[in-house]
Amino acid sequence: MIERVIEHWLAKVNERGYEMALCQALTAQGHTILRRPAHGGTEHGKDIVSRDRQNKYHCYQLKTGNLSKSEWRAIRDEVAELVEVPIQESNVPQNVAFTPHLVTNGTVTDPVSLEVKARNGHWKRRGFRPLDLILKDNLFRMFLDLQGKFLPSTPTDFEVFLRLYLGDKTAPLNRDEFCLFLSSFLPNKALRRKAELSRALAATAILSSYILTGYQEHGNHLAIAEGWMLVLAHMLRLAEQHQGSQADWMQSVTLCRDAWEGAVRSLVDEAVRSPNWIEGDPMVDNSVHGIRSVLLLGYLSCDAIYNRRGESPPGGEDNILVKVKENLNGLSRGYWGESASPFVFAVILFLWLRGDEELAVKIAADLIGFIARENHPNRRLGVPSPYYEPSRLLAIQFGEDFFDHRQTFVGRSFTMQWFVEFVARRGRKRLLKTLWADITHITKACFVPDELRDFYFWSVKKGTEVARQWGRPQRWEALVEQSNLNDLPRLLLVEQFPDLVLPFLLVYPHRATAELMRFVERRASQNFGLIKAP
Amino acid sequence: MLPDYPEIKRKLQRGLGRRFELLIDQKAPHVARIRRIGQAEGDKFTFEDEEGTIVEKGFHRFEGRVEVPIKLPLVEINKTVAKQIEQAAETIAAQSEGLLFTAHKEAVESVGNVFDARGQQYNPLMMWDMIEKVHIDFDENGRPEMGIVVMHPDTLARIRPQIEKWEADPVLKKRRAEVLAKKKEEWRDRESNRTLVG
């Protein structure tokens, strides 16, 4: 069955779609990827540059579909550059020999094949290595062999995979189901052989590619970004048990991060260009426009914060700030429940980092007031917890689903504490005093898995939901001290990918805690040069 | 298999599940008054009680049994199932009400808040002595949010004719006013602690 899926996928995907899978397959074969399109455009006909286990270099040019004589003529110069121009990467010795590969997910006609053969003879005489053709059948075999035992094993698991593969690619990604699919074949325990680890991770990424490239066709950037973040998180869960062999997992994880970055960049570009953030039929867009606004405001802010991790800030941040400020009213209009809180946090953090503390504090205080009011014990339902996605809440709103019998969210909040601490860190005692009586009616809640590495799971069986009260009375000094605590979970995500914590929490809102939000703020402050890195 | 319509039947099953829960509520009136906080993951929860003590708990499983005798004609099956659902709801209701009272007993015993009548006949002053020991909250209009008194039906039958008389009794009225004034004072103290100080 998987053969049919790979065949079908290879037939419809373009080079951008299979590039990630190819890189992962090369990684599993022991290659180190030195260059790929995510690092910049094609250079001298080389989309991918890699070094294999024997320290030999390889360059790949990727194409889509069958290559007949006319298509070949159009790319001939580019192919010649691939073969003849030396690798220009800074981490590669000058004029080093390399094997050039022309890759396509189609076939080549006989005349093209004959011409390649003739040109190879010519190139060989001139001291270049001959061009190697990697065609549809080679790709098929490469992906199939790699998959090995890392496949959904039961018919039910396979059904989940097919449902995701064939699902509506214009809709949001079903994160719950996607995680179910990832957990269905990724090993739960540490792998005995190191080689199996890189193979398991590459197989995971390739299987995920089959599902996620479908979203690429429709430009559904959010679904792609969320998908790669989920894959990355599940890889880190496995890597947590293999921390000593970073070389075996780091490249696969990095490739997923690159794919996530690419999708977010596309989402942000589209959001900045769009005049009104309307999508599809405008006559019925009103019901979801608010939700979309919160998502976009959150991702725009998150992207701007994330991009400050480098040495010099990238261009475009000012445009993002303008766009965020223009659409700020969408925050209160679209706030659907506590799973929207990480998005609001990203916005207030970005506004504060860009110097608008008053506005950031006002938004935080408004949200504190809203949650305190709606979740007061005398209310009936309250603000839905972070476990409720917008699509589920829309289904409830439109009568297609319902809350559990006697369900209530009052009396507690998973996210209000982050905003209280944000305001406290800014020394706004007087403002918090006006809200405090209402705040004390809401206990602070969070979830703690028994096994720390289960943090990356979408849903955990063994763990504790923790609810704690505010002090009565609450000492201001104690609140400020708590707001600045630095007690972090020892997770690879935090230690190795600190700038991905906020993006991770946009996808996993139910994993966000006050500790992580403090860390996100500290890290962003360092990146913006507001505080010094330790 | 015989022709079937699983999609619509799944929806009907969900509806049936909802009606079953309503039936349990009817049979467990005390539990039915308690709102439900759903826990999406994990197998334990901890919370802080009014005294600031951290309490850790796991989950209890309530179960009832419904057996569908598939060899009977459909009309008979429906009758049998309806009866069994009623019984299962009663079983689960009894389990949940039982747990409520057990948990309540454990909680009051753990803080030494048990009022023991020592075998004496019910006397309305006892109720105010009892109320004096517990937290009473007041609503925004200053009215006490009194708890529920649960008593044996025989006791209720015995005291019911006297309630009107007790309500007019000046001694009891005075005691009521005293206790509620004290409770209000305590409540005000508690509420005044909802502040940010320093």
Q: How far is A266 from chain B (nearest CA, A)?
A: 33
| CA separation for the pair A194, A196 (Å, rounded) | 5
Instruction: Give residue A179's region: left, alpha or beta (phi > 0; psi -120 to 50).
Output: alpha
Rg for chain B (alpha carbons), in Å? 24
Record the tokens describing residue B112, joined without a space. Answer: 């030494």
Nearest chain A alpha carbon to B46: A466
Distance from CA of B157 to the nearest CA of A (A): 32
Interface of B with A in 102-161 (CB under 8 A): 139
Q: Do A464 and B46 touch (CB under 8 A)?
A: yes
Helices A175-183 and A155-166 cross at an angle (nearest 10°) of 140
Residue count of chain A, please give it.
Answer: 534
To probe the interface with B, which of A430, A458, A466 has the most B CB atoms within 10 Å? Answer: A466
Chain segment A307-326, per-residue pLDDT in tens = 999 777 778 899 999 999 99
Q: What is the mean pLDDT of residues A405-419?
A: 94
CB contact under 8 A, B196 and A466: no
Among A404, A436, A447, the residue with its CB nearest the CB of B195 is A436
Q: Read out DSSP for B46-107?
A: EEE-TT--EEEEE-----------TTS-HHHHHHHHHHHHHHHHHHHHHHHHHHHHHHHHHH
Asked if residue A39 has pLDDT above 70, the reply is no
Residue of chain A whose alpha carbon sits nearest to that of B53:
A468
Domain boundaries, chain A: 1-147, 274-527
* B45 touching A (Cβ < 8 Å): yes
For residues A21 and A205, the answer to whether their CB atoms sit within 8 Å is yes
**A333: distance to nearest CA of chain B, Å?**
26
* H helical segments located in A335-474: 341-353, 357-374, 390-397, 416-425, 429-439
| Residue A240: CB atoms within 10 Å | 20
The 8-class DSSP code of residue A26 comes to: H
Return the residue of A nearest to B21 by Cα: A405
Confirm or reject contact between A465 and chain B (CB < 8 A): yes
Residue of A nearest to B138 (CA): A378
Structure tokens, B154: 């025989």
A361: pLDDT strictly greater than 70:
yes
Question: Per the CB < 8 Å rule, is A405 touching B37?
Answer: no
Any residues with CB less than 8 A from the CB of B172 and at least 6 apart, and which? B124, B125, B128, B166
> B193 and A404: CB-CB below 8 Å?
no
A357-391 in b/e burial notation, b at 16+ Cβ within 10 A? eebbbebbbebbbebbebbeeeeeebbbbbbbbbb
pLDDT-derived band at A518 (thresholds 50, 70, 90) equals very high
**How far is A288 from A390, CA to CA, in rounded Å?**
9
Residues A157 and A473: their CA atoms lie apart, in Å, by 52
> Residue A7 pLDDT more than 90?
no
pLDDT of residue B174: 93
Q: Please, are residues A439 and A470 in contact by the beta-carbon 8 Å criterion?
A: yes
Out of B41, B52, B191, the one facing A459 most closely (by C-beta) is: B41
CA dist A231 and A255 (Å) reads 11
Query: What is the rounded CA–CA span in Å between residue A351 and residue A40?
Result: 30
What pLDDT sits at residue A42? 67
Above 90 in pLDDT, residue A163?
Answer: yes
Answer yes or no: do B193 and A385 touch at CB < 8 A. Answer: no
A408 interfacial to chain B (CB closer than 8 Å) = yes
Q: Is A469–B48 a contact, with Cβ atoms under 8 angstroms apart? A: yes
pLDDT along chain B (198 residues), means of 10: 88 88 93 91 93 91 89 87 93 95 87 81 85 88 87 88 90 93 94 93
Task: Report the amino acid identity of residue B4.
Answer: D
Could A464 and B37 be called an inter-chain contact, meaning their C-beta atoms sit closer than 8 Å?
no
- Within 13 A of A337's CA, how many CA atoms are on the CB side? 23
- Encoded tokens for A412: 């507690």
Q: Does A510 touch chain B (CB under 8 A)?
A: yes
Query: Which of chain A's residues have a Cβ under 8 Å away from the Cβ of B194?
Result: 436-437, 440-441, 472-473
What percent of chain A is predicted at pLDDT more than 70?
Answer: 98
The span from the CA of A152 to the CA of A282, in Å, is 40
The Cα A400–Cα A391 span in angstroms is 11
CB A379, CB A430: distance < 8 Å? no
What is the pLDDT averaged over residues A499-513?
98
pLDDT tier, A218 (very low <50, low <70, confident <90, very high otherwise): very high
Look at residue A200 and tell me whether its pLDDT is greater than 70.
yes
Portion of chain A with pLDDT greater than 90, in percent: 74
Among the ranges given (A35-39, A136-140, A270-274), the one the predictor scored with the smallest mean pLDDT = A35-39
- CB < 8 Å & 24+ apart, contacts of A49-53: A49/A87, A49/A89, A49/A92, A49/A98, A50/A26, A51/A92, A53/A29
Which amino acid type is present at position B70?
Answer: I
CB contact under 8 A, A436 and B194: yes
Cα-Cα-Cα-Cα dihedral sign, residues A363, A364, A370, A371: positive
The residue type of A118 is A
ipTM of the complex: 0.86
Banded pLDDT at A12 (limits 50, 70, 90): confident
The encoded tokens of residue A325 equal 């400020």
Looking at beta carbons, which pairs linking B181-184 to residues 24 or more positions away fall under 8 Å? B182/B132, B183/B131, B183/B132, B183/B136, B183/B138, B183/B144, B184/B136, B184/B138, B184/B142, B184/B144
Question: Quick one: CA dihedral A290, A292, A294, A296, positive or negative?
Answer: negative
Using the Cβ of A396 and the Cβ atoms of chain B, whether some distance falls under 8 Å is answered with no
Task: Report how far residue A135's alpha carbon sits from residue A116's, in angstroms, rounded to the nearest whole number.
Answer: 13
CB A50 within 8 A of CB A34: yes
Q: How far is the C-alpha of A89 from the C-alpha of A46, rounded, in Å?
A: 11
Interface test with B, best of A183, A406, A442 (most B CBs within 10 A): A406
Q: How far apart are CA A380 and CA A376, in angstroms?
A: 9
Tens-place pLDDT, residues A271-310: 999 999 999 888 889 989 999 999 999 999 999 999 999 7
C-alpha B166/C-alpha B170 separation (Å) is 8
Q: State the CATH class of domain A1-147.
A: alpha beta
**Gap between the Cα atoms of B52 and A414, Å rounded:** 19
* Residues sharing a CB contact under 8 Å with residue A234, sequence separation 6 or more, in sequence order: A179, A182, A183, A186, A204, A456
Q: Which of B34, B45, B48 sits opposite A465 (nearest CB)?
A: B45
